[in-house]
Structure 1
Amino acid sequence: MNLTIDGVSKVFKERHSEKKALDKLNLEFSTGVYGILGANGSGKTTLMRIIASVMKPTEGTIYLNGRDIASLNHEYRALIGYLPQHVGLYKNFSAEKLLHYIAALKGLSKVDAKEKVDETLELVGLSRERKQKVGKFSGGMKRRIGIAQALLNDPKILIVDEPTAGLDPKERIRFRNLLSKISANRIVLLSTHIVSDIEFIAKEVLILKEGKLIKKESPNHLLSGISQKVWSLTVEEEELEKLQAGNRIGNISRIQEGFQLRIISEDKPHPDAVRVEPNLEDLYLYYFDEEEGTG
């Protein structure tokens, strides 16, 4: 399966101006997990909504196996599973009843719906809670029931937007392991600004900034690109402020000798600084060191 994004742009008209949320993106996806990394306002959610066919691009075309998805229409939508960042759930429905209701909306027969509801509840680890009301679920359980509804139609393209926002570390690990498990024969698109969500499961990471594609490479290739730009340094308190003012600092740890800093810098930031191996948090800071807008 091949999904191609060809020259896709999205412009939102505001009262006295226009805002370009996406700027002529060209992308290609095959089976596996893709992490879409970007700060707020980078265009992640807009891209996900366009791929999910709930929003139309201002210009450009999306192709599935060489066919324009606009011409495929319902045939394309039947292949999509979508978990938006904010999903509305019927709080008085049990998990089981909610999934049966959504299965009916998706056109599954009663026999197929029973099988898929049982299967997806087992997959997301909610079989024991199937009779509980969704309104009493924890945040992590609600995200899991969200992914269950997205999987009911056995989608070939699964789109999840900021799925772990607000979850504790244990639930984040559970969620990303689930996505990795189900990605064998699917295209899984995962947008996030939490780099640990994609560090171990994404075959490629896309970096979006202000609606433009900055990079699309494997995590290892991306990290090799900043391998000479991450430094470790121990300083006393009086030097700390000066270094903070002129550098991108990823981490500050108080130790017995003073403060240990992790600095992202093109050049050696201090005579005593030593190079260290980069991680994806360093990568994020390298590309998104300034506050961006929301949306």
Structure 2
Amino acid sequence: MNQSAAAWDRGTAVAVSKDKNGTDQVLLQTNRGASAQVSLHGGQVLSWKNERGEELLFTSSKAIFKPPTAVRGGIPICFPQFGNRGALEQNGFARNKIWVFDESPPPLQPSDSNGKAYVDLLFKPSEEDLKAWPHSFEFRLRVSLAYDGGLSLISRIRNINSKPFSFSFSYRTYFSVSDISEVRVEGVETLDYLDNLCNKERFTEQGDALTFESEVDRVYLSSGSVIAVFDHEKKRTFVIRKEGLPDVVVWNPWEKKAKAIVDLGDEEYKQMLCVDGAAVEKPIALRPGEEWTGRLELSVMPSI
């Protein structure tokens, strides 16, 4: 990691430490007080705090921080599948594996590094992974924290196979909210969605905004590039911007399902909401040598 010294000049810093399992973690900071923590276990963002040190992402009090179990919270990366189909484990294996630092990342746009603290990670399949999903790939991830506290994740997946493959994908983003019943999601109105509570039946969103009174597990299709999550009690709005990710997954398990999830507290569904930038309905197809890029940008702003 040689990014720290240069990053300080722009009001940001990068530091590396190890967790209790000996896995590297990277702390991205701005000198205004915002921070983000990224684990090489799954390439997962575990924490994102604003300038006042307030945690913006939810992590369960019962989360298991030991590979190969994915951590319940933060932003797990679901690849090469989102959901549960075929022989692959639910939501794929990328979130359960140990990633490495990418020593030679390909160039990105100047705006992806200027004035930001960032870390570049790399995941390649092991022999075990290739048995489960027989396709060779390079998965590069850049996690950046901007000077204003905005968080961005850029995934680049390249097919280094001799044959085509396809995959689905999701940034499973657990937002921390004050009370799920006081939250609304805008940007999904009039969209078609697949309802996972009704055997993936297709419906059209009728409301001006999505609010929560019971379990929700939906994939909104072909959404716009901006989604907003309003938290009335905390008077703040999360703004989600995405590229290369046509769908939006919205999930809250509600009371009954929460009690059945081992690594989630019985009442914790009230303080969390997953809103994911995703590619689910139409898998992404890559021919040999092709590369896909999926970008997620998160910011938070005060709201009335």
TM bin (shorter chain): under 0.3
- Which structure has the bigger radius of gyration? 1
Higher share in strand: 2
TM-score, normalised to structure 1, is 0.25
RCO higher in structure (CA 8 A, sep ≥6): 1
Higher share in helix: 1
